[in-house]
């Protein structure tokens, strides 16, 4: 039992000895003496030089409480921690057991990456942690940081500032109430309402990251960027001021405060130098026109150029909505400079109760009044207007229209014109149905209704009594009423019609069939020509004698040297190709 107690005593003694703190030692002083009233107090005066656990303290006067291992220093106090940390102040206290230093009076602390100044500073040497709550300033190679309270961690070069934080450099000012700043990299992590003001931009966020050296910011909470009178918002923002580039992810919104324009989507990229924007994921461009607004949607939106020369491009599943004008196509081009909008690939336009389709549709707006000016429908032009008894229809190669007060006033049909029109008297009673073919047709509108039709060149047809035209004959070839595809409000521009893909497939199939048919007709024509030439043969050569005047007149000049054998070979080749197909 005695041996056990002896071993326990030895272990306890070893632990206690190992936990003993290093004592404060006075290495130099002009005068050192022990206080008579308190013998545990050693007082040193003049050129005092003290050492404690790897650090040294210089001052004009010091008091050391031997039992408490506690130092009080005053007068030009300098604390050195190795060769890396130097601190100066008027006064300082140091607890040798806890390794805690408190300095006050014009405190300045320097390490290889920064200089800190404050009125009172707390220094935990065990944790290498500095703290102040009486306002402080940190300067590094790039920035000057000021705050009411601050924590600096020497080992990680991390400075945590709170309350009235301001970071300035020659290019930017950052203001917040909470940030973590790394003095070796110049990177700041923001955790509260923060504003970064540059020469040409302002950034706001409530959580994010900012690199003051590279001028790159990544913002993740209630954030926005404002430059060139353009406000960019989103769930997550990225901004590179050096490259004039920014991107936004999630519920993005870009507001042009000067030109009353808005962009929305799920993701966007913005290039300030080019004044361009790229938007995807429920992308929509909104522009204010008079007291109305135009909403343009596409899978992808691309905007380029300054506001006065801006070009908008929309690609795939394009739809747009304005109270008096709606449209749908696969791709769209719109120029702010000349007010023209072009629609491609199965375009359809709805205006004043008219459904307008063609290979491509162009419409022009007056730049001053922002009202519709004119319209072009190029290739397979077709215009339909619903009537209570059926559908008024106008069809032709091309259609040209003129607007007045945003309403169609005049329409010109050029080439292959066809019309079906339900004619009514002044009492709006149906008195007949006009069905006419004419190369060129002029149509006059009044109160959004057809008022007069002018059939100009070789009209073919007439106005029939209603009961003389069968229902099947009341629609022109190619008639499709597509009212279900028309967006009725701005929310419906995001609806992808179920028939879109089917229409595209059908269109490609028709194009292929048309190409095959044209090829077949061309080959049949060539075969017919060869047969006609064979009939002219008399012998091996198809060149007739001079005495046969009739054959000389019929003979094509280009066939004078063609031989009978050549004709047979060509004929056989054509027939063979047809069988293969």
| Helix (H), strand (E) at residue 11 | helix 2-18
Predicted local confidence at residue 88, as pLDDT: 95
| For residue 459, pLDDT beyond 60 | yes
- Are 451 and 426 spatial neighbours (Cβ–Cβ below 8 Å)? no
CA distance 533 to 346: 45
- The pLDDT tens digits for 320-360 are 999 889 999 999 999 988 889 999 999 999 988 899 999 99
Beta-sheet strands, E only, within 125-244:
129-132, 136-139, 144-147, 149-153, 158-168, 172-182, 187-190, 194-198, 201-205, 207-211, 216-221, 223-227, 230-234, 236-240
Q: What count of other Cβ atoms lies within 10 Å of the Cβ of residue 298?
A: 26
pLDDT band at 122 (very low <50, low <70, confident <90, very high): very high
- Tokens read off for 568: 């047979």
Task: Convert the pLDDT of each residue in 535-555 to its tens digit.
Answer: 655 444 443 333 334 333 433
Two tokens, residue 423: 């004619």
502 vs 453 pLDDT, higher one = 453
Please state, in angstroms and rounded to a whole number, the distance separating the CA atoms of residues 367 and 287: 14
Q: How far is CA 354 from CA 325, 329, 389, in A?
A: 10, 16, 16
Q: Are 529 and 511 in contact (CB under 8 A)?
A: no
Question: What percent of the chain has a predicted confidence (pLDDT) above 90?
Answer: 52
User: DSSP letters along 288-346, please?
Assistant: EETTEEEEEEEEEEEEES-GGG-EEEEEEEEEEEETTEEEEEEEEEEETTT-EEEEESS
Unique residue bearing structure tokens 């002896």 = 6
Task: State the pairing for strand pair 25-28/201-205.
Answer: unpaired
Question: What dotted CATH number matches 231-346?
Answer: 2.60.450.10
Q: Which two structure tokens, joined as six digits, stand for 308?
A: 């006065």
pTM for this structure?
Answer: 0.71
Higher pLDDT, 461 or 49: 49
Band of pLDDT at residue 499, cut at 50, 70 and 90? low
Say if residues 475 and 389 touch (Cβ distance below 8 Å).
Answer: no
Per-residue pLDDT band for 557 (boundaries 50, 70, 90) equals: very low
| For helices 564-580 and 500-535, angle between their N-to-C axes, nearest 10 degrees | 160
Mean pLDDT, rounded, for 85-97: 93
Taking the C-alpha atoms of residue 113 and residue 569, their distance in angstroms, rounded to an integer, is 92
Is residue 565 pLDDT above 60, yes or no?
Answer: no
∠ CA 501-502-504, rounded to 5°: 65
Cβ(114)–Cβ(183) below 8 Å: yes
What are 330's two structure tokens? 């696969």
Q: 230: helix, coil or strand?
A: strand
The residues near 569 (Cβ < 8 Å, ≥ 6 apart) are none
- Alpha-carbon span 17 to 127, nearest angstrom: 22
Distant-in-sequence contacts of 244-250, Cβ < 8 A, 24+ apart: 244/271, 244/272, 244/273, 245/269, 245/270, 245/271, 245/272, 246/270, 246/272
In this structure, the dihedral spanned by the alpha carbons of residues 89, 95, 96 and 99, taken in order and rounded to 10 degrees, is -80
Look at 314 and 17; give whichever has higher pLDDT.
314
59 has a pLDDT exceeding 80: yes
Confidence of residue 571 (pLDDT cuts 50, 70, 90): low
Q: How confident is the model at residue 115 (pLDDT cuts 50, 70, 90)?
A: very high
Question: What pLDDT is stored for residue 336 in this prediction?
Answer: 86
Residue 201 pLDDT exceeds 80: yes
Q: Residue 198 and residue 202: Cα distance in Å, rounded?
A: 6
DSSP 457: S
Looking at residue 170, the DSSP 8-state letter turns out to be: S
Whether pLDDT at 251 is above 90:
yes
pLDDT in tens, 141-157: 888 999 999 999 989 99
Strand partners, 238: 218, 247
Query: What is the SS3 assignment for 528?
Result: helix
Query: What is each CA distance from 432 to 58, 100, 269, 394, 455, in whole angstroms?
Result: 114, 105, 58, 17, 17
Would you say residue 581 has pLDDT above 60?
no
Structure tokens that stand for 73 in this block: 């220093």
Q: Write the CB contacts of 233 (distance below 8 Å, at least 6 apart in sequence).
A: 223, 224, 248, 251, 252, 253, 254, 255
Domain 347-497: CATH class, spelled out:
mainly beta
**Of 35, 37, 109, which Cα lies nearest the Cα of 72?**
35
Beta bridge partners of 146: 137, 166
Among residues 380, 322, 311, 296, the alpha carbon closest in space to that of 346 is found at 380
Of the listed ranges 51-55, 219-223, 438-442, 512-516, the least confidently predicted one is 512-516
**What pLDDT, on a 0 to 100 scale, did the predictor assign at position 480?**
92
Tell me what pLDDT residue 65 has.
93
What's the average model confidence in pLDDT over 476-499? 88
* 146 touches 135 (CB < 8 A): yes
Please name the helix (run of DSSP H) or strand (run of DSSP E) that holds residue 462, with its range, or none. Answer: strand 460-464
Q: What is the pLDDT of residue 561?
A: 42
């Amino acid at each position: 039992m005695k041996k056990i107690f002896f071993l326990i005593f030895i272990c306890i003694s070893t632990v206690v000895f190992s936990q003993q703190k290093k004592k404060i030692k006075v290495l130099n002083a002009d005068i050192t003496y022990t206080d008579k009233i308190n013998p545990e107090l050693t007082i040193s005066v003049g050129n005092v030089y003290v050492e404690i656990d790897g650090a040294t303290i210089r001052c004009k006067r010091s008091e050391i409480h031997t039992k408490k291992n506690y130092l009080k220093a005053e007068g030009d106090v300098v604390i050195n921690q190795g060769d890396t940390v130097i601190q100066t102040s008027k006064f300082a206290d140091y607890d040798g057991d806890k390794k805690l230093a408190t300095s006050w009076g014009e405190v300045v602390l320097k390490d290889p990456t920064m200089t800190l100044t404050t009125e009172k500073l707390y220094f935990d040497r065990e944790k290498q942690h500095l703290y102040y709550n009486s306002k402080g300033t940190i300067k590094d190679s790039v920035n000057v940081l000021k705050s009411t309270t601050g924590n600096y961690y020497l080992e990680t070069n991390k400075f945590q500032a709170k309350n009235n934080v301001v970071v300035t450099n020659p290019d930017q000012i950052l203001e917040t109430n909470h940030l973590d700043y790394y003095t070796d990299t110049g990177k700041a992590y923001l955790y509260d309402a923060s504003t970064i003001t540059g020469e040409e931009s302002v950034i706001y966020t409530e959580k994010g990251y900012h690199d003051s050296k590279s001028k790159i910011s990544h913002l993740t909470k209630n954030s926005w960027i404002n430059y060139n009178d353009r406000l960019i918002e989103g769930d997550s923002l990225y901004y590179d001021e050096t490259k004039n580039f920014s991107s936004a992810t999630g519920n993005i919104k870009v507001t042009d405060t000067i030109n009353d324009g808005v962009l929305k989507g799920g993701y966007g990229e913005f290039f300030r130098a080019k004044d361009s924007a790229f938007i995807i994921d429920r992308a929509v461009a909104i522009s204010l026109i008079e007291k109305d607004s135009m909403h343009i949607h596409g899978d992808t939106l691309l905007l380029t150029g300054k506001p006065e020369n801006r070009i908008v491009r929309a690609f795939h599943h394009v739809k747009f909505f304005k109270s008096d004008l709606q449209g749908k196509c696969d791709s769209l081009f719109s120029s702010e400079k000349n007010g023209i909008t072009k629609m491609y690939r199965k375009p359809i336009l709805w205006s004043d109760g008219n459904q307008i389709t063609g290979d491509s549709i162009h419409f022009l707006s007056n730049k001053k009044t922002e009202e519709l000016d004119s319209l072009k429908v190029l290739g397979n032009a077709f215009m339909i207007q619903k009537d209570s008894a059926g559908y008024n229809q106008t069809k032709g190669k091309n259609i040209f229209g003129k607007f007045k007060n945003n309403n169609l006033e005049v329409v010109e049909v050029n080439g292959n014109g066809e019309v079906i029109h339900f004619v009514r008297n002044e009492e709006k009673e149906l008195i007949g149905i006009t069905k006419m073919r004419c190369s060129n047709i002029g149509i006059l509108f009044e109160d959004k209704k057809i008022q007069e039709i002018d059939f100009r060149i070789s009209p073919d047809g007439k106005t029939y009594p209603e009961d003389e035209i069968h229902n099947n004959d009341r629609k022109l070839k190619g008639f499709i009423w597509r009212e279900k595809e028309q967006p009725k409000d701005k929310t419906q521009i995001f609806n992808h019609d179920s028939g879109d893909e089917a229409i595209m497939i059908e269109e490609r199939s028709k194009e292929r069939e048309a190409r095959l048919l044209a090829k077949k007709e061309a080959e049949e024509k060539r075969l017919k020509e060869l047969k006609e030439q064979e009939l002219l043969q008399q012998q091996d050569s198809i060149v007739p004698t001079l005495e046969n005047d009739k054959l000389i007149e019929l003979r094509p000049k280009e066939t004078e040297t063609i031989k009978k054998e050549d004709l047979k070979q060509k004929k056989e080749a054509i027939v063979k190709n047809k069988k293969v197909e």
